[in-house]
Structures are given as structure tokens and as C-alpha cells.
Amino acid sequence: MSSTREVYVSRLRAEHLYKVFGRRPEAAVQRLRDGAGREELRADGITAAVIDASFEVRAGEIFVVMGLSGSGKSTLLRMLNGLLDPTAGRVLYDGRDLTALSPRELREVRSRNISMVFQHFALFPHRSVLENAAYGLEVRGVPRAEREERAAEALELTGLGGWERSWPDELSGGMQQRVGLARALATDADLLLMDESFSALDPLIRRDMQDQLLDLQKRLKKTIVFITHDLNEAMRLGDRIAVMRDGRIVQNGTAEDILVRPANDYVASFIQDVDRTRVLTAGSIMEKPDPERLDPERPGGSAGEHAATVPSGTPLAELFAPFAHSTAPVAVTDERGQLAGIVTRERLLAALGEQPTTEVTA
Amino acid sequence: MPRIKLGNWAESAVGWLNAHLSWLFDAVNTVLTGAYDAVHAVLGAPQPLLMAGILAVIAWWLRGLPAAVAAFAGLALIDSFGLWDQATATLSLVLVASLITLLLAVPLGIWAARDRRVSGALRPVLDVMQTMPAFVYLIPGVMFFKIGPIPGLIATIVFAMPPGVRMTELGIRQVDGELVEAARAFGTTPRDTLTRVQLPLALPTIMAGVNQVIMLALSMVVIAGMAGAGGLGEAVYSAVTQVDIGGGVESGVAVVVLAMYLDRMTGALGKRVSPRGRRATAKAGANRPVNLLRYRPGTAVATVGIVVLALVAGGMHLAGGGGRESVAAGPNVGNGKHIKLGYFPWDEAVASTYLWENILEQRGYKPDVKQLDPGPLYTALAQGQMDVQFDSWLPTTHKQYMDRYGSQLSDLGAWYGPTSLELSVPSYVKGIDSLADLKGKSAQFGGKIIGIEASAGMMGKLNSTVLKEYGLDGEYQVVSSSTATMLAELHRAIDKKEPIVTTLWSPHWAYGTYPLKKLKDPKGAWGKGEQIHAVGKKDFGKDFPQVAQWVKNFHMSEKELSSLEAAIQQGGKGKEKESARKWLDARPGLMDKLAPVTS
């Protein structure tokens, strides 16, 4: 296994996935490949849920698939663990083609390598919190004592220590989803599929959960595919984001890529309402520092007055405070603490007022 | 539109099945009879009040003390009505039928829930099972499975199955799809998904189905009583057909007590076994002060209680065993041979059958007397499942049965005759003395002639011949109902002195009870009077040569028959045998005249 990991940089790889519902799905895929549109098929009573989706997810990253309802994102997610069988295309997990597995092998993969967190939590109401968290291990046949210990650890991790003996319907929505998360973590699966996992929660709780997921991710370094229809959530969580529309992936890139270089009008209109101050970073709008003000003698800084010095990953929202007190530019440093550029007041305002420009990407 | 002969096909199918698959029916019959007998033996073994106690402990365990007290009171009430044996028979039938139904229904429901095509194919079948009038398959049931509890059991299973299947399917389909998906997403096998997720969550709905199954089984068991299944159904049926209001109410109440007991217990059991119910119970029990009314014994305590009561019952049963044997008087020529007498609840049938039960018992036979409708009874005789019946009106009334089964029956000769069929009016209706007088008077009677069962021979004759002969066919409508309804209507009309025309026949006790006049039939449209024959199964003469001889020589005058009928009428329901015996004992020499023994 370790050797294949070296060959395949990506943990998960989707290759030209299609999912078509209706009669003679294979023929429909051929028509799509020949250039037929989704509407054309719909007229024949065929639903093309996912069309030619390809992407790679690297080990340890959060890959967000974002799209409105009906865009095919949930269908896409369910093909990744074989809950739905792709009509065409392959899913490679650590180089292993999941679409070619027997039902038994596929169940084995699901119980060991890929786990899932659901939109409406999908907790078993007839099982206690602990039994829910231990479910995946129970299916795998892990002895009771061991599985309960590991389930309790997972609950501890998601902040639910002490609630083991409670029942799902006694918990709030956020707590229920923590159980759902603990259930997914307890199996030690590396790949987590999260299907709109925070969408059913109210905004404050949702934010808490996002924070907790990011915090857990720092420690656990799981590989996560996260489905959402909420662009702000996508921007917040995603190392990389794939935007889906009408069954197709229309853009795939980092949050900044999407914000600064939307692939088409659709993405552009989609990101209109995004709070750019929280997505764009100092590094993405900084200018070359004025050479005259550069002071090579001073390590990690430049000569002259700076309102503040910030790392390049700082969101723009955090630059307002320094500018409130000073007209001097803010210095931006790279990972090594070297001066990488500056952000002036004018530059900041220009970046916020800027309409995204549509670029044609291949 | 050509006549589609579905009926003929069905008849040939039934004939074919009976001829070729009798081994299968015999096997099913053996298994079901075994199950029924076993359950019945267990339920019937203890003293009634002890059994009531055991059932009350179960109620205590499931629902608490008030339910236990109510259960005991209700069951004791059944015992005080003298209906305990019937109630245990019914309860056994319900339990066996429900158990078998569930063994079939739950797997079918699961299958239907997992496969749309199965669900689609099952739906019309279930509709048929639920809506097809039960008698339609009760009669073939009698042909296949012999008279007795089994046809009733089969009919009950057929009738009670649909809700079991439907509720199981519904329960499983109702389980949140996301939960099933979650189970799959964690690598659960389809079988485990069913047992760990779908069935536990569907359990409340399935238990509601179980409850429905049991209640439907109970209601059907009562109907099956009319086809010889025995139990409370037979008690209800015979009370109703004899216009025995009191007896009807008592048997009806007994049915209601059983129904309520079964309903409440299965309801509570549903809560007890469902995971959420268990959880609620555990919570409630954790920190609640002891309250006698709410206290419910744990499963272990309840089991111990039941076992103790059962042991006591067993002990008493052993000690008291053998006390019930009756001693046969007179020469024993029957040597304990069983002989099955069937009758339908017509008064002369009741009278002659119970008379013969006494005679045969005193001659050392073991007669089993069973009440049935005419259709099932003739069928049973033709199949050789019944030995003899005494109330065959020939050549007219029962012509249809003789046409059909004549070759499979043996006519043991007439013992009473001639009878007559007639329309009768109360004697206070003036100016109408003959059928011809009815013409133009329909307004007086609301245009109605109150008839009996549509299946009765005289109803056919009335419609096809008598009314036409007197030109009444456009004017009067013959209302078919049942003999009991006709008699109740007659009773009501006479109470209020209203005019009424009813179908009636002689002999009938109504002529001794109400002021009635038979309408003359100058044109002889009703035909000649009939003879009442005894009819045996085909081999009756071979199996019971002595009895056949006695029955062939049997004859009763109108005076004798009416005094016997009156004696039985006065003796009251449930005491027919005793009344007939007294009547017989009061006539020294009659016994030896009716059943002479050469020795």
C-alpha cells in the first residue's frame, strides 16, 4: 500500500464520472459525450445528475464541492463510496478502482477507509450515543469493549465526553452532528465524506462546527470531501473548491482562484455576495514593496513606517484596524518571515470594490 | 357479452385440487390440528378461574394492576356465563391463527418492502384476501380440510394476513432513507441493515400490524364458528339463529372481553418490545416511588407467578381428572364408537339430533354433535367428515344439495311428514286467508314479503313459482334475510299488531307461540308437502349398520315432535341435550322402540 501511495499523490481521484438516471443510461452517456445537453436528455425522461466529473483530492486536504440543489453534488459524493454506482468513469482510492470492487470488498472499504457524515445526522434513534458512535466498528466485528473504548475516544474528540449514555433525540442539532462526526471518526477511516453536514444547523452552531472541523483537521489530517451549497462555508473550509452546476464541475481551484478569477459568469454571479474581506488575503492583493523603502539591514522588515506587519494568509478583514490608526502601508511577510510585499490603503479599497473579472479557462 | 364461466372454472379447480392434492391438505390439516389441539389443551387444562389468574398475571406484567383486575373480572364473567370452554376454544384458534399468520406475513412484508415488484404483485392478492366474503372460501375449506376448526383456521389466516403484510412493509418503508443509507455507508450488509436498523425501527408499526392481525383473527373466528370451527362463534351463531337474545348478548360480551384483552395486551407488548418503549420503561422505572397501582412486576417475577399458577393448575387437573366420565346406561352396542351428528339450527333438526344424541349415548356410542349451516353440512356429509344429519327436506327444499351430492350420500328414509311450506300472516289480519287474497293488498304490507335465507329452497320456489301463479310477482318484493331476522320481524310486528306476510313452514314452533294463520294455496303452487329425511354419508350403512337400521325405522308424529320441540324450547339454550333426555326418560319404552337391541 505504501508504495502505491507514493505513485499516486492523490488520495482520491475521480475520472470522468457520469451518473444518469433513466432508461438506457449508457446510451445517454454516449450522447452526452457526443455533445448532447442536459435539457435535451431531460426531454426524453432521462436525468443526467453528474456529467464528466474529474478531480483529485490530495491526502490531508479538505476538498469542497459546492453547488446549488440539483447540481449533482450529493450524487457525486455517493459515487465516491459506491452508494451509487457510476454509469461511467472510475473512482480511484489510493490507486484502487472502487467501481470494480465486489459488493463485499466495497463494504470492507466503507467500514475501514471511507466514512460518511450526513446532512440530517442519520443517527440511529434506537441506539445510545455511544452505540451510534461505535456503529462502524460494530459492523466491522470489533469486540464490544474495544469498540466502545474507541467510540468514547471519538466522542471525546468531538467534545461529547460524558454524553455516551444519552439518546440521540435528547441532544441538540449541533450535538447530534458531533455524534455523527464521532461515528465517522471512530472507524479511523482516512477519507471522510461530508454531505451538507452543517446545513441543517442554525448559523451560530454551524460556525462552531466549522471551527471545530478545522481544529480537528489540524490534528487528524484526514482527507475530507465536503459538500455544501453555502459559498461562505466553502470558502472557509475548503483548501480547494469545485463549483458544480447542472451536473458539471465548472471550476476547480482555491478560494482565491474562484474569487479573483471566476471561470464564467455563473461562478461570478455566485460569488457576488461573498464576504470578500474574509476570503481574500493580504498576500493576494499585496504590491511589490517600494524599493526605496526596502531596508536589507533589517531582517523580516522594511525601512520606514508600517501600520502593521502581517503574514500573507491574513484575511483582509483584519487589515481594517491598522489602517484606522495609520495611513502607512501594512507590511506582508512570507512563511519565513521575510518581507513579501505591502498593502496600501488605496490597494485595499480597490480590491474590495473590484468586480471579479471573468477569464476564459480551458 | 359471452358468459364468462369463472364459477365453473373455480369449481373444477376445487375439484381437481381435492382429487390431486389431498395429501397436501391432509398434511396441512395434521399440522394445524396438532398445533390447535396443543394450544387448546394447554389453555383448557386449568380450572377456569386459575387460567383467568394466569392471564391476569400477564396483564399485570404488561400493563399493571388495574388491567390485571379488569382482565380477571372479565374472564371470570365469561366463566359465569358458562362459556369458558367456548372461550378457550376461540382463544386457541385466535392464537394459532395469529401465530401462523405472522410467520407468513412478516417475511412477506419484508420481501415486499425490499422489492417493488413483489409489493406490486402482492397488493391485489391481499385485496382479494381482505375483501372476498369469507364464506366463499370457508366452504371449499370444509371440502379440503374436513369440518372442524381447521377450515375456520385457514379462513382466519387468509383474512388476518393482509394487515400483517401491509404494516410490515409500511413499517420498513417508513424507516428514514438516510438511516438506511448511513448503515450502508458504514459497510453494513443488507441482512444486517434489516435486522439492526430497519426491523427495530419498524417494530412499532409491525406491532400495530400484529394487533390488527389478532383483532381480525378474533372477528373471523366468530364467523368461522358458523362453519363448524366451534368456540364462541358457534355460541353466538346458535343463539342468534334461535332468537335467543340473552344467549346472544352473553356470547357477544364474551367475545368482546377476549377482544379487549388481546388488544390491550398486544398493544402493551408492542411498547414493551420496541426499543424506544424499553428505554421509556427503563427511565420511568429508575426513580419512581413504589405505587401499587402503577407497579408492574418484572419479567422474572411474572414468569414465576405464571409458572406457579400453572403448576397448581396442573396438580389440580391431575387430582380432578377422571371425574367427568359419564356412565352409559343400558345395553352397550356402540362400544364407544364415535359418531358425528350434524345439524343446522332448525328446530326439528335440533330436536331430532339431540334426541338421537341421547339415544346413541345410552347405547354406548360416543356421539359428537356439531352445528353447521346446510351448505357446509351437506358438503361435510358428502366428504364423509360427518356421519349423519336428520333434517333433509325432500324432495323440494334441499333438492339442490341432493342434486349435487346425492351420489355421495345415503338416504336413510323419512321420519316425519308431510311438511308444508306457506306464507303466513298474523291472525288479526282480516280478509286474507289465501294466497289469492294477497293480490292488490300490497300497500297494507309495504309491498314486502319477509323471507328467510336467500339460499333456502323455499325462497327459490316462492320467487319462481308461487308469486307468478297468483299474479303477485310484480306487486310484492321478497326480502331475503335470515330465519332469525324473519322471526324477529314477525315478533316485532305482532307486538305492535302490524300486518306482515312471512315465509314459514310446518312444523315450526312459531305456530305454537304466535297467533298465525297459514295462507291457503288452492292452486297447489307450493307443491306437495315434503318429507323430512335422515341422510347419512355414503358409507353410513357400512360403518354404522345398527344405527342405520334404527334411523331407517325412526318415525315421529307431529304431536311427538312438537312436544319435543316445546320441551327443548322451554329447557333453554345450552340445555338441549338435557331437555331431550328428560323428554325421552318421561316416555318409558320409547328408547327400546327407537333403538331396539336384540339380545
Q: Is A218 exposed, middle or buried (0-12, 13-18, 19+ CB in 10 A)?
A: exposed
CB spacing of B187 vs A124 below 8 angstroms? no
Q: Are residues A108 and A202 in the same domain?
A: yes
Confidence bin at B502 (pLDDT 50/70/90): very high
Q: Pairing relation of β-strands A191-195 and A223-228? A: parallel
First to last CA, chain A: 34
A115 inside 8 A of chain B by CB: yes
| CB-CB neighbours of B253 under 10 Å | 16
Are B206 and B171 in contact, with CB atoms under 8 Å apart? yes
Interface of A with B in 142-201 (CB under 8 A): 167, 183, 187, 193
Residue A24 three-state SS: coil
A141 inside 8 A of chain B by CB: no
* B398: nearest Cα among B352, B356, B349, B434: B349
**Residue A61 grid coordinates:** 486536504
Q: Is the residue at A1 inside a domain?
A: no
Q: Is the residue at A37 inside a domain?
A: no
Please give the DSSP secondary-structure letter assigned to residue B193. I
Please give the DSSP secondary-structure letter assigned to residue B466. I
Q: What is the CATH number of domain B420-518?
A: 3.40.190.100
The pTM for the full model equals 0.67
Cα–Cα distance for residue pair B87/B75, rounded to 1 Å: 9
Residue A50 three-state SS: strand
CATH number for the B84-259 domain, one of 3.40.50.720, 3.30.70.3270, 1.10.3720.10, 2.30.110.10?
1.10.3720.10
For residue B273, what are the contacts with CB-CB under 8 A and spacing of at least 6?
A: B203, B207
Cα–Cα distance for residue pair B558/B508, rounded to 1 Å: 10
Least confident interval from B158-172, B315-329, B564-578: B315-329
A108 inside 8 A of chain B by CB: yes
**What is the average pLDDT across B98-115?**
93
Q: Are residues A270 and A323 in the same domain?
A: no
Are B475 and B439 in contact, with CB atoms under 8 Å apart? yes
CB spacing of B187 vs A140 below 8 angstroms? yes
Residue type present at position B502: T
A135 inside 8 A of chain B by CB: yes
For residue A299, what are the contacts with CB-CB under 8 A and spacing of at least 6?
A: A337
Residue range(s) in chain B whose domain bears CATH number 3.40.190.100: 420-518
Q: Are residues A303 and A331 in the same domain?
A: yes
What are B426's strand-pairing partners?
Answer: B516
Check pLDDT > 90 for residue B298. no
Domain harbouring A320, CATH code: 3.90.1280.20
Compare CB distances from B275 to A108, A122, A126 and report the shortest one's residue.
Answer: A126
* Chain B CB contacts of A122 below 8 Å: 176, 178-179, 181-182
Alpha-helical segments (H) within chain A = 2-7, 25-33, 38-43, 73-80, 103-112, 129-133, 135-140, 144-157, 173-186, 203-220, 231-237, 255-260, 265-270, 276-279, 282-285, 320-325, 345-353
Q: Pairing relation of β-strands A62-66 and A223-228? A: parallel
Please give the DSSP secondary-structure letter assigned to residue B529. -
Widest pairwise Cα distance in chain B: 90
**What is the average pLDDT across B71-98?**
90
Q: What is the pLDDT of residues B441-493, one digit of tens each?
A: 888 888 889 888 877 778 888 888 899 889 888 888 888 877 777 888 888 88
Residue with grid cell 479573483, as numbered in its chain: A260
Q: Which of A225, A242, A274 is the last residue of a domain?
A: A274
Check pLDDT > 70 for residue B47. yes
How many residues can be counted in chain B?
Answer: 599
For residue B64, what are the contacts with CB-CB under 8 A and spacing of at least 6?
A: B293, B294, B295, B296
Are A211 and A174 in contact, with CB atoms under 8 Å apart? no
Residue type present at position B588: P
Domain count, chain A: 2
First to last CA, chain B: 69
Residues of B within an 8 Å Cβ radius of A? 176, 178-179, 181-189, 192, 197, 200-201, 275-276, 279
**What is the average pLDDT across A135-150?**
91
Cα–Cα distance for residue pair A55/A13, rounded to 1 Å: 6
Cα–Cα distance for residue pair B181/B403, rounded to 1 Å: 64
Check pLDDT > 60 for residue A40. yes
* Chain A CB contacts of B184 below 8 Å: 83, 110
Q: Is the residue at A349 inside a domain?
A: yes
* Chain A CB contacts of B187 below 8 Å: 106-112, 136, 139-140
User: Which helix (H) or strand (E) is A239 found in, with range?
Assistant: none
**Residue A241 grid coordinates:** 473548491
For residue B312, what are the contacts with CB-CB under 8 A and spacing of at least 6?
A: B46, B50
Cα–Cα distance for residue pair B500/B491, rounded to 1 Å: 10
Q: Which domain holds residue A294?
A: 279-353
Q: Are residues A218 and A335 in the same domain?
A: no
Q: Mean pLDDT across chain A, nearest whole number?
A: 85
Q: Is A293 or A288 the better-scoring residue by pLDDT?
A: A288
Residue B452 three-state SS: coil
Cα–Cα distances in angstroms (integers) from residue A106 to residues A80, A240, A356, in the given order = 11, 27, 43
Q: How many CB pairs under 8 A join A and B?
A: 58
Please give the DSSP secondary-structure letter assigned to residue A261. S
pLDDT at A54: 93
Q: Are residues A219 and A106 in the same domain?
A: yes
Confidence bin at A15 (pLDDT 50/70/90): very high
Q: What is the ipTM of this complex?
A: 0.79
By C-alpha distance, the chain B residue nearest A168 is: B276
Check pLDDT > 80 for residue A225. yes
Superfamily of structural domain B338-418+530-594 = Periplasmic binding protein-like II (3.40.190.10)
* B171: nearest Cα among B132, B200, B151, B128: B200
CB spacing of A183 vs B186 below 8 angstroms? yes
pLDDT at A149: 92
